[in-house]
Amino acid sequence: MEPLEYPEPALREAIFNAIIHKDYSSTYTFLRVYDDRLHLWNPGSLPEELTVEKLRADHSSYPRNKNIANIFFKAGYIESWGRGTNKIIDPCVESGLPEPLIELEQGGFGITFLKEKYTNKLTPFEELEDRQRKAILYIREHGSISNTQYRELAGVSKRTATRDLQDLIGKKFIQKSGNTGKGTSYAEPI
């Protein structure tokens, strides 16, 4: 069987939370799968007592659907109340993935699982220029890239290479190291 791109315990917990905390008087729960992320959105906001930041710490549980929550508890799918968020975050971090983005958005609650650290919420990998994506793939394979290597790879001028690499730094896809000039290289962020 092929391994999952995201940890199964994290996905399972996110789906359980979506079922237990869904506002059933509203619209559907949406699961969208993209090349670089998976997004789960559920109608309904957090109770006044909670914020997204408080979900990361110990907190009380406020199931919107107590009967459904009770069934999940009796079936053994809920071990303890108020730990669901950590059961989503921890397996992702332990697997070497970025921490999922948790947001209140569009009248609901969204969780975005990110496939890799190259994903940037504001600029998804697929929206970069082809030559910039090639540079990132080159860095993945070789560990770093220089301006000269980028120019050869992309077939661009020194000025364009510098501009492209600075753009990737600004979007947090890469970071610069070394002295200016021949000693400069670009690698993935730590």
Range 8-114 has CATH code 3.30.565.60? yes
List, in order, residues 6 or more apart from 89 with CB less than 8 Å away.
10, 56, 99, 100
What residues does each domain of the chain span? 8-114, 125-187
What is the pTM (predicted TM-score) of this model? 0.59
Same fold, 8-114 and 125-187: no
- pLDDT tens-digit series, residues 11-69: 999 998 888 888 888 788 899 998 778 999 988 877 777 777 777 777 777 777 788 88
Cα–Cα nearest to 24, from 56, 55, 53, 65: 65
Distance from the first to the final alpha carbon of the chain: 32
Give the distance, in angstroms, between the CA of residue 132 and the centroid of all CA atoms in the same chain.
Answer: 20
CATH architecture classification, 125-187: Orthogonal Bundle (1.10)
